[in-house]
Amino acid sequence: MSFWHRLVVAGAVFLAVSLAARAVDWLLQRRPLPPEAATRYRVLRRSVTVSILVVGFFSALLVIPQVRAVAGGLLASSAVLGVIIGFASQRTLGNFVAGLVIAITQPVRLGDRVEYGGVEGVIEEIGLTYTFIRAPDRTRLVVPNEKLASETIRNASIRSRETIAQVTVQVPLSTDLEAAVAALREETADEREARVFVSGLDGSATLTVRAAAPNEDAAERLEGELRLRVHRRLRALGVWG
């Protein structure tokens, strides 16, 4: 068998394993899962995929006799242990192991509302080495899993996905604040755990409206609706011309 023939066989083996990895990835993500299960499956899926690709890559190389001879000698020597220990000491593997720890212990889950390093956001992705936190301005905070697993993080939804939708509005100090608050309380009477109160008096009066929402996405939608409703109600009350 010629070198090029063996190379084609190696390529075919690697392609087959890549397709198998994609098949595993597709099978593991078919079902909608609760947050805790989705987090474990997401990390497991990537771990399995990477493992299959690594095994497939070396299997493809071992089809070539010259490479097989070198690999066999390497595996038979004690140098492998040194390579493994050296690799294990690197941060990359530390982040990988931390990702598995996060998936098992779940201090954070996909969709959790957290605060890390003074930045508030939502856990968008837990990768094999990094976790992505989506901030309110749509930027992403990329945190190494090793840091996330070892440092303090505030999780506002670890027990429940429920969160608070909140909007604030400035009105002139000449406004009848009691009437405005009463009108907005009537407007939000059907919302869960609704609260309306004066939260500031500094150059103008600040009215704050809060209501419970089942999750972060629902809170974002509710805040948009509340802004429109508050504006409409205050205009009808004559607060603005």
Q: What is the mean pLDDT of residues 7-22?
A: 68
Q: Which residues pair with residue 206 across a beta bridge?
A: 170, 200
User: Does some domain include residue 83?
Assistant: no
pLDDT over 90, % of the chain = 24
What is the domain-level CATH number for residue 221? 3.30.70.100
How high is the pLDDT of residue 111? 81
User: Does some domain include residue 181?
Assistant: yes
How high is the pLDDT of residue 78? 47
Nearest to 153 by CA among 117, 206, 180: 117
Helix (H) or strand (E) holding 163: strand 163-171
Asked whether residue 194 falls in the same domain as residue 223, the answer is yes
Asked whether residue 141 falls in the same domain as residue 176, the answer is no
Residue 108 has pLDDT above 80, yes or no: yes
Asked whether residue 172 falls in the same domain as residue 142, the answer is no
The 10s digit of each residue's pLDDT in 128-140 is 788 899 887 888 9
Asked whether residue 196 falls in the same domain as residue 136, the answer is no
User: Does some domain include residue 54?
Assistant: yes
Residue 197 has pLDDT above 50, yes or no: yes
221: its two tokens: 């939608």
The 10s digit of each residue's pLDDT in 30-70 is 666 566 566 666 666 666 666 766 666 666 666 666 666 66
Residue 198 has pLDDT above 70, yes or no: yes
Nearest to 166 by CA among 141, 200, 197, 140: 197
> Rounded to an integer, what distance in angstroms lies between the CA atom of residue 115 and that of residue 17?
40
Residue 174 has pLDDT above 80, yes or no: yes
> Rounded to an integer, what distance in angstroms lies between the CA atom of residue 164 and that of residue 192?
10
User: Does some domain include residue 85?
Assistant: no
DSSP 181-221: HHHHHHHTTTSTT-EEEEEEESSSEEEEEEEEESSHHHHHH
Range of the domain at 225: 163-236
Counting the structural domains of the chain, the total is 3
User: Does some domain include residue 114?
Assistant: yes
> Higher-confidence residue: 72 or 178?
178
Other C-beta atoms closer than 10 Å to the C-beta of 213 total 22
Q: What is the mean pLDDT of residues 88-95?
A: 64
Asked whether residue 11 falls in the same domain as residue 46, the answer is yes
User: Does some domain include residue 87?
Assistant: no
Residue 7 has pLDDT above 70, yes or no: no
Instruction: Among 121, 138, 155, give the residue marking a domain's end.
Output: 155
Quick one: 211 exposed, middle or buried, by C-beta within 10 A (0-12, 13-18, 19+)?
buried
